[in-house]
Amino acid sequence: MKPSLDVLILAAGRGTRMNSELPKVLHLLQGVALIQYVIESVLELGVNRIVIVVGYGESEVRKALSKYGDRIEFVRQEKQLGTGHAVNSAAKVFKEKFGDVLILAGDAPFLGKKILSELILQHRKSGSQASILSARVVEPKGYGRIVRNLKDGVLAIREELDASSDERGISEINSGAYVFNKSHLFRVLGKIKATNKKGEYYLTDTIEFLIREGAVVSAFCLVGEEEVMGINSRKDLVKANLALYQKKAVELLESGVTVMSPENTFIASDVTVGQDSIIYPFTYIERNVKIGKGCRIGPFTHIREGSHIEDKAQIGSFVEVVRSRVGKGTNIKHLSYVGDARVGAKANLGAGTITANYDGSKKHKTIIGDGAFIGSNTVLIAPVKVGKNAKTGAGSVILADNNIPNGQVFAGVPAKKIGNRK
Ligand code: UD1
Ligand code: CA
């Protein structure tokens, strides 16, 4: 049987450096709250309990995470007096003080399952009472430094503000992820003092106390600059976002998709794009989108969540697609809005085609059949159905429920039948 592991995620801080009313951990990275990345990584680990320390904006944080139901628990840190204080405020929920606890910061989204499993493994293999996940970075500024002795043993974690100039030169930093033996941790937490520059109770100060007590403390350098990143400011957030987009562009290039200008293309990490598709610059593709093979997307295209663009379709300039399916070989090449629609194969949506999907309170669906030809500037007021091979004249307004049967041609405002398509 695997020894039980509890997880504690620190998310009570306001995030002063964000300069925001929104709690820091709820700031979005590619549309997903920072803390959700942390929770998702941990859920994959399959642990015993996941406890989140909340404080600033508690109700907002709880609400944002309500979808996790009873898979997570919350504990309140009344005043945000530092990371050590935050952990100590969870002491009451860990009544059984045997076993280990994995402690994570809610603002470090890139420490994935693989890294965390490796940290846990190393912790157990080494027989340590405390294990720190560390990283060697070119730019250590802002992070706690791992101070080691001549034999490479860990001595302390020194926060930037309290570090000597020599210590600031250390390139090994604290990721903010640790595995602690609970009984050791909670014993020394009572001893730390807030006698540092920030006047906070630092979790990092427990390390020196543990070492003084003769505990085995290790730091495992298992991550790189990108994965270790803690998001403290909006600059950090933007940097992380851009790093994800760059990574995605490279991944697509390697998988057989031409991304014409990676620096100017913004594709969310989970998007799939088929081989030989070409993505032109200034394309913005949100999460939960699927694009087939041989498509041409962009320039200046916005594809939003829940869209599926099938093989060989073309979505061109100033087109927005959301929650829609666009069939094989269909063209929507200019200035269109396609929302909540199902467009068949080999259809053509002329410049300026608009699905008016929202009536002010509800969204409605538009269905466009295979081979349909939608004339320029047609407005389709949903719910509405355009039959297979049907056609609309330029400037038509198709009223709601005024469905166009297969092969018929409608035109005018409001549109009426004017003939059959050859
Ligand atoms: C912390 C570490 C630093 C490490 C860095 C990694 C300390 C003292 N420093 O610094 O060594 O290199 O993370 O990213 O731990 N929080 C609370 N309650 C509080 C204070 C903070 O829950 O009273 C939460 C925050 O919401 C945040 C996490 O703890 O999610 C980390 O706090 P933050 O202020 O971001 O710490 P750093 O200065 O980044
Ligand atoms: Ca941080």
* Ligand 1 pocket: which of 52, 83, 175, 185 to mutate (most atoms within 8 A of CB): 83
Residue 89 identity (one-letter amino acid)? S
Give domain limits for the chain. 5-223, 234-420
Closest-lying ligand 1 atom to the alpha carbon of residue 14 = 26
Cα–Cα distance for residue pair 172/187, rounded to 1 Å: 27
Sequence-ordered strand ranges (E) for 3-116: 5-11, 28-29, 32-33, 49-54, 73-76, 100-105
Q: What percent helix, strand, coil does the chain show, rounded to 5?
A: 25, 30, 40
Neighbours of 77 (CB within 10 A): 23
Nearest ligand by distance to the CA of 24:
1
The rounded average pLDDT for each run of 10 residues, N- to C-terminus, in the chain (422 residues) is: 83 94 97 97 95 98 98 97 98 89 98 97 98 97 97 97 97 98 96 96 98 97 95 97 97 98 98 98 98 98 98 98 98 98 98 98 98 98 98 98 98 98 88
Q: Are 331 and 349 in contact (CB under 8 A)?
A: yes
pLDDT, one tens digit per residue, over 244-254 is: 999 999 999 99
pLDDT, one tens digit per residue, over 205-240 is: 999 999 999 999 999 999 999 999 999 999 999 999
Tell the residue nearest (CA) to atom 22 of ligand 1: 12
Would you state the structure tokens that stand for residue 35, as one six-digit string? 């803390």
CATH 3.40.1190.10 correct for 5-223:
no
Cα–Cα distance for residue pair 140/283, rounded to 1 Å: 34
- Residue 125's Cβ-count burial label (10 Å; 0-12, 13-18, 19+) is exposed
Nearest ligand by distance to the CA of 105:
1
Q: Are 119 and 218 in contact (CB under 8 A)?
A: no
Q: Are 404 and 381 in contact (CB under 8 A)?
A: no
Would you state the pLDDT for residue 1? 47
β-strand pairing of 100-105 with 172-181: antiparallel
Q: What is the pTM of this model?
A: 0.93
308 is catalytic: no
> 302 to each of 19, 101, 363, how far by Cα in Å?
29, 43, 19
Q: Are 298 and 316 in contact (CB under 8 A)?
A: yes
Q: Are 34 and 250 in contact (CB under 8 A)?
A: no
Would you state the pLDDT for residue 2? 58
Closest-lying ligand 1 atom to the alpha carbon of residue 202 = 8
How many Å lie between the centroid of ligand 2 and the Cα of residue 54? Answer: 15
Cα–Cα distance for residue pair 141/365, rounded to 1 Å: 51
Q: Which CATH class is domain 234-420?
A: mainly beta
Would you state the pLDDT for residue 3? 65
